[in-house]
Structure 1
Amino acid sequence: MSMQEAAEEADKIVSSTMRAVKPPVAWAHSVSSESSCGTSGEGTRTGSVTRRAAVLTVISDERRGNFLGVLERHWKKSGYEITSVRNHPDNPAIFAATPDDFRMSLEVGYKGQVFLDVTTPCVAESEVAPPNPEPGEPEYTGEKPPLPDRRSDFWSARTPVTSGGSESTAN
């Protein structure tokens, strides 16, 4: 597998993760990066790619746990292993890995913005094209997206989800 092929697989993970959120949120690809891993046993230079996305919808403190829970369940249903959970009151995070060793992190950062990173395993070094935006997705490829400024009747609400309401967000 080349770095470009691995980047395309990482893009699929980003897209499927973001599509798992119901009701949907606005999101955009963020800055991608590439790094060298060294040389394989066969003498081939290897590298990895990190694809990033940022949620542009305001996720209220009251709904943050539900949001992360939806994506944790999606990852588990997809056969991914949850490798760690950070239960920080302001900056919680979930870390996971695919069976092919793609590593994911879903982290709440500054002003409650949610970030998704997908890092590929080390693969054959190659040129890597930027990600293609989803239809209707703003394009911030190569630059950092703005802080969340979109509102959602559901995700931005300042009230906790009732037990019946959390089921409506599951896949």
Structure 2
Amino acid sequence: MLLCLLAPGCGAGDRTNDGGRAAMDMQEAADRADDILDQVLREIKPEVQWAHGPTSTGRCDVSRMRVVMTVISEERRGSLLGIVDRFWRKNGYRIKAVNKDVDLPAIYAQTSDGFGVTLSVGGKGQAFFEVDSPCVEESEVAEATASPNGPSYEGVYPLPRPNVRSDFWSLGAP
């Protein structure tokens, strides 16, 4: 509790913007997170196939996830992280940390409006994009409405390991 009160963007005192109007609610934050995810996935060429990961809500925050179903080979992980890093920097995101682990690399960034964004690569070359909101007004949160560009895996949890091969992303040669 004390950490939340000391953290920027968390706590009752931060629930209004400079104009005194109520800040966004959890649904608006979820919509913003979806927009952030849509933008970065559109930037990746050739396209990767993705499915929705879980949406989670806390006391005053919401998180959305997209799970990449395309196998990202060890040799192509640096390319994926480079595309995403350049896109986030170009759009004014602050890169907070980069994990350069060969097997499980990740990039952690923050948007100018306080949303945390992460790209992490997990087991079997599966990439995960996650967006976490700053503290917002509590509200109901609907499921994401964007249609995945492959199977939706609706009702399947956990999602399967990556199972889509790409002539580029899954290739073992640099």
Q: TM-score range by the shorter chain?
A: 0.7 to 0.9
Residue equivalent to 1:9: 32
1:29-108 equivalences under 5 Å are: 29-36=52-59, 47-108=60-121
Q: Which amino acid aligns with 1:4?
A: Q
Match of 2:44 among 5, 9, 21: 21
Whether the 8 Å CA contact 2:50–2:70 is kept in 1: the answer is: yes
- Indicate the structure whose relative CO is greater, using CA pairs within 8 Å and at least 6 residues apart: 1
* Residues 1:147 and 2:150 are matched in the alignment: no
Report which stretch shifted further, 136-145 or 67-76. 136-145
Structure 1 distance, partners of 2:62, 2:154, is: 14
Match of 2:13 in 1: none
CA contact (8 A) 1:55 1:148 kept: yes
* Deviation, structure 1 residue 129: 0.2
RMSD: 1.3
When you count strand as a share of all residues, which structure comes out higher?
1
Shift of 1:141: 5.5
- Provide, for residues 96-135 of structure 1, a one-character-per-residue CA deviation record: whole Å limited to 9, x for no partner: 0001100011111121211111000100000000111336
Please identify, of 22-31 and 128-137, the stretch whose mean Cα deviation from structure 2 is larger: 128-137
CA 1:60–1:139 in structure 2 vs 1: closer, same or farther (change >3 Å)?
Answer: same
Paired residue total: 150
Paired residue secondary structure (1:4): helix
Equivalent position SS for 1:61? coil
Q: Sequence identity, in percent?
A: 49
TM, length-normalised to structure 1: 0.83
**What CA distance in whole angstroms lies between the structure 2 residues aligned with 1:119 and 1:18?**
16
The alpha carbon displacement at 1:137 in A equals 3.9
- Note the 1:119-130 alignment, pairs <5 A: 119-130=132-143
* TM-score with structure 2 setting the length: 0.82
1-structure distance, mates of 2:143, 2:127: 21
Question: What is aligned with 2:4?
Answer: none
Structure 1 unmatched ranges of 5 or more: 37-46, 161-171
Alpha-carbon distance in 2 for matches of 1:80, 1:11: 16
- Asked if the contact 1:105/1:117 (under 8 Å) is kept, the reply is yes
